[in-house]
């Protein structure tokens, strides 16, 4: 098995393969798809995905911003970096789980084997204009010092590279088996200005550094050197300061056209946290990465943002700082699309809000918590006795054969029965449940009485309140009322009660009014009640 080393390279717009420097040799352009969207500084771009590279254009006017963008993987051999050539390469275009994905797979075999994917994806449901998410995954067969060089060609006559050293860092919240949140943490050797950052781009003007940007691990924010977008500057790659040469600086260009980085536009001025949510403005504007699983077992690494002026950007009851801590999307009230909103998962159910199936049992969190309580109120204390005296057994028999799925069923369905027949002492309260020790369904009598006045509103509401109290978790509840019925004339005749021995409409309303839970479905297994 290959030992996985995951690198997430979220570099500006990037994209594309051409692993092994194939881009330069491509004559014929073959496009496999394109994305439109905003990049970090909200520049609207279109990224054309070609077989070996991406072309990045301004979506408004079609101006080519970057003719060719592609990453190159290099491994350390002695003191030198050697570029890996990939023998295999393929492209997949998929639409699944609400994501539009173009994935370029590549592989190199040999003493050092490498395989990987460069995925570029966009969340369809957000629609055009959504952030574009590039993701690079690398898997080596052994631990090897490597780096990713992102090459951008055809920026006017300039080109530049961005170098990451391939180190990855996992940071909280990390729960085993789940939040595999990886923040790319490349470093640039020798440049003291950038501390412990990544994705260094520096612009020079007349030989003087004009701006630069990196990511500071400790502060979790982009550090930005301000510049005037109208200035014409040269783009340069920063290399090892020991030989810190300018790779190219032949022409000038309007920097804004690159639209590559997340600028700290201020937002809070002297106050770094305008909305007081515990996240700095620059962090909220620059965004951060989370891992999300919305279906199956495929995880997506996406960048998320929040509004520096609102504590709870998506108004889902989880403020932006908590979203940050819990690894959820502050702009999506249901990060994992499982039907439970982030607030419910984090504060009510304790499930992971970034994956649809927290315990990885194949049942969505929504299913596990949007399950059912079936409450059967069976009044057979009348002429129906001869038909319904065995109703508890019949319900039990319906489930008794379902043993292999018993545990799963019992997580979704909880069944309680209140029964009263004609005989003294046959009244009882039952649960039909699955016993995980015996791996059998069982019928358990949890309470009994000599007789129950089933026509009394209080008897009905007490039963429902007991059941809803015991099974508090389900938020879907069905109440099944079985007896004679007469429509608005009443129902629930109880022959053991003398005098007023049925429930009229106002008594029925009172019973429901006394229930301390909402009923999603009422089934009147009684005449004339619909």
Partner 1 sequence: MSEVIYQLRGYADMIVGSEETSWEDAEEYSSLFNHLAANYPARGVELHVEDVSQEIINNYKPINNGNHTISSLWVGRTISTLIPAINNLAQELINLVNEGHGNEIKDIITVTQHMNVPIRNGEFFNHSYRDLYSFSKLLINRFGSNSKVGEAARDVMNAIEQVVEQEKHNNGDYHGISIFLPDDRRWYYNSTWGTSATYRATDFAQYTEWDNFLKALFPSQG
Residues in contact with partner 1, counted by CB under 8 A, come to a total of 64
Which range touches partner 1 (CB under 8 A), out of 25-33, 103-111, 263-271, 396-404? Answer: 396-404
Selected binder of partner 1 within 82, 245, 309, 518 (CB under 8 A): 518
Which range touches partner 1 (CB under 8 A), out of 65-73, 110-118, 191-199, 362-370? Answer: 362-370
Q: For residue 520, which phi and psi values (nearest 5 degrees)? A: -80, -35
What part of residues 311-340 is at the interface with partner 1 (CB under 8 A)? 339
Selected binder of partner 1 within 153, 196, 486, 497 (CB under 8 A): 486
Within 10 Å of residue 477's Cβ, how many Cβ atoms?
A: 21
Question: For residue 477, what are the β-bridge partners?
Answer: 373
Residue 497 sits in the site that holds partner 1 (CB under 8 A): no
Q: Which residues contact 472 (CB under 8 A, 6 or more apart)?
A: none
Selected binder of partner 1 within 391, 460, 467, 492 (CB under 8 A): 391
| Nearer CB in complex with partner 1: 128/489 | 489
Q: 457-470 and 505-514 helices cross at what angle (nearest 10)?
A: 30
Torsion of CA 239, 241, 245, 250, to 10 degrees: 70
Within 10 Å of residue 125's Cβ, how many Cβ atoms?
A: 9
Which range touches partner 1 (CB under 8 A), out of 6-14, 29-37, 212-220, 518-526? Answer: 518-526
Residue 484 sits in the site that holds partner 1 (CB under 8 A): yes
DSSP summary character for residue 194: G
> Going residue by residue from 259 to 298, which x/- string records binding to partner 1, judged by CB under 8 A?
----------------------------------------
Residue 17 sits in the site that holds partner 1 (CB under 8 A): no
d(CA 491, CA 379): 10
In the bound complex, what is the minimum distance in angstroms from residue 437's beta carbon to partner 1? 20
Residue 15 near residue 107, CB atoms below 8 Å: no
d(CA 43, CA 416): 59
> Going residue by residue from 143 to 182, which x/- string records binding to partner 1, judged by CB under 8 A?
----------------------------------------
**How buried is 64 (Cβ within 10 angstroms: 0-12 exposed, 13-18 middle, 19+ buried)?**
middle
Compute the half-sphere exposure of residue 324: CA atoms within 13 Å on the CB side of its CA: 23
d(CA 245, CA 228): 24
In the bound complex, what is the minimum distance in angstroms from residue 403's beta carbon to partner 1? 11
**What three-state secondary structure class fits 438?**
coil
Torsion of CA 311, 313, 315, 317, to 10 degrees: -50
Selected binder of partner 1 within 85, 231, 451, 525 (CB under 8 A): 525
| Nearer CB in complex with partner 1: 131/490 | 490
Within 10 Å of residue 296's Cβ, how many Cβ atoms?
A: 11
In the bound complex, what is the minimum distance in angstroms from residue 506's beta carbon to partner 1? 6
CA geometry: angle 288, 289, 292, nearest 5 deg? 140
| Nearer CB in complex with partner 1: 397/469 | 397
In the bound complex, what is the minimum distance in angstroms from residue 392's beta carbon to partner 1? 8
Residue 257 sits in the site that holds partner 1 (CB under 8 A): no
CA distances 243 to 166, 203, 206, 235, 247, Å, are: 21, 17, 19, 17, 11
> Going residue by residue from 399 to 428, which x/- string records binding to partner 1, judged by CB under 8 A?
x-xx--x--xx-xxx-x-------------
Residue 526 sits in the site that holds partner 1 (CB under 8 A): yes
Residue 66 sits in the site that holds partner 1 (CB under 8 A): no
Which range touches partner 1 (CB under 8 A), out of 144-152, 170-178, 188-196, 484-492? Answer: 484-492
In the bound complex, what is the minimum distance in angstroms from residue 95's beta carbon to partner 1? 23
Q: Which residues contact 494 (CB under 8 A, 6 or more apart)?
A: 379, 381, 382, 420, 452, 453, 454, 455, 501, 502
d(CA 237, CA 174): 34
In the bound complex, what is the minimum distance in angstroms from residue 436's beta carbon to partner 1? 15
Selected binder of partner 1 within 362, 424, 450, 469 (CB under 8 A): 362
Residue 508 sits in the site that holds partner 1 (CB under 8 A): yes
Per-position b or e across 503-529, b if 16+ CB within 10 A of its CB: bbeebbeebbeebebeeeeeebbbeee
List interacting residues with partner 1 (CB under 8 A). Answer: 339, 362-364, 366-367, 370-372, 374, 376, 384, 387-391, 393-395, 397-399, 401-402, 405, 408-409, 411-413, 415, 432, 476, 478-479, 484-490, 504-506, 508-509, 512-513, 515, 518-530
């Amino acid at each position: 098995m290959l030992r996985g080393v995951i690198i997430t390279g979220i570099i500006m717009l990037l994209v594309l393969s051409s692993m092994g420097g194939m881009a330069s040799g491509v004559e014929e352009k073959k496009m496999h798809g394109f994305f439109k969207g905003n990049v970090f500084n909200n520049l609207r771009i279109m990224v054309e995905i070609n077989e070996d590279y991406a072309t990045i254009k301004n979506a408004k006017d079609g101006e080519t911003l970057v003719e060719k963008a592609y990453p190159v993987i290099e491994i350390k051999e002695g003191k030198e970096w050697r570029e890996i050539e990939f023998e295999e390469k393929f492209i997949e275009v998929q639409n699944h789980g609400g994501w539009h994905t173009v994935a370029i797979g590549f592989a190199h075999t040999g003493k050092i084997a490498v395989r990987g994917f460069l995925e570029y994806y966009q969340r369809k449901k957000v629609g055009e204009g959504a952030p574009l998410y590039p993701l690079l995954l690398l898997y080596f067969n052994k631990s090897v010092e490597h780096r990713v060089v992102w090459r951008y060609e055809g920026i006017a006559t300039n080109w530049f590279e961005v170098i990451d050293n391939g180190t990855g860092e996992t940071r909280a919240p990390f729960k085993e088996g789940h939040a595999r949140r990886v923040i790319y943490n490349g470093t640039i050797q020798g440049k003291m200005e950038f501390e412990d950052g990544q994705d260094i781009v520096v612009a020079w003007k007349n030989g003087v550094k004009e701006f630069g940007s990196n990511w500071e691990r400790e502060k979790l924010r982009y550090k930005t050197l301000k510049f005037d977008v109208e200035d014409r500057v040269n783009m340069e790659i920063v290399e090892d300061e020991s030989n810190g040469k300018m790779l190219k600086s032949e022409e000038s260009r309007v920097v804004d056209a690159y639209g590559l980085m997340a600028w700290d536009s201020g937002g809070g001025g002297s106050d770094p946290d305008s909305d007081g949510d515990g996240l700095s403005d620059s962090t909220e504007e620059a965004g951060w990465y989370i891992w999300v699983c919305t279906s199956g077992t495929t995880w997506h690494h996406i960048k998320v943002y929040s509004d520096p002026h609102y504590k709870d950007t998506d108004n889902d009851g989880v403020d932006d700082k908590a979203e940050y801590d819990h690894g959820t999307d502050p702009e999506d009230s249901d990060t994992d699309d499982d039907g439970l909103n982030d607030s419910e998962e984090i504060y009510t159910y304790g499930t992971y809000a970034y994956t649809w199936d927290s315990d990885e049992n194949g049942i969505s969190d929504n299913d596990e918590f949007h399950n059912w309580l079936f409450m059967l109120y069976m009044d057979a204390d009348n002429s129906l006795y001869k038909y319904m005296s065995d109703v508890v057994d019949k319900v039990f028999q319906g489930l008794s054969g379902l043993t292999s799925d018993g545990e799963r069923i019992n997580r979704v369905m909880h069944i309680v029965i209140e029964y009263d027949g004609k005989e003294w002492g046959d009244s009882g309260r039952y649960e039909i449940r699955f016993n995980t020790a015996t791996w059998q369904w069982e019928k358990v009598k949890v309470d009994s009485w000599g007789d129950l006045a089933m026509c009394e509103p209080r008897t009905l509401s007490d039963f429902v309140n007991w059941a809803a109290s015991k099974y508090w978790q389900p938020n879907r509840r069905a109440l099944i009322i079985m007896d004679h019925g007469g429509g608005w004339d009443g129902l629930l005749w109880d022959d053991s009660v003398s005098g007023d021995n049925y429930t009229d409409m106002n008594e029925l309303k009172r019973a429901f009014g006394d229930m301390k839970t909402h009923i999603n479905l009422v089934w009147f297994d009684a005449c004339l009640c619909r």
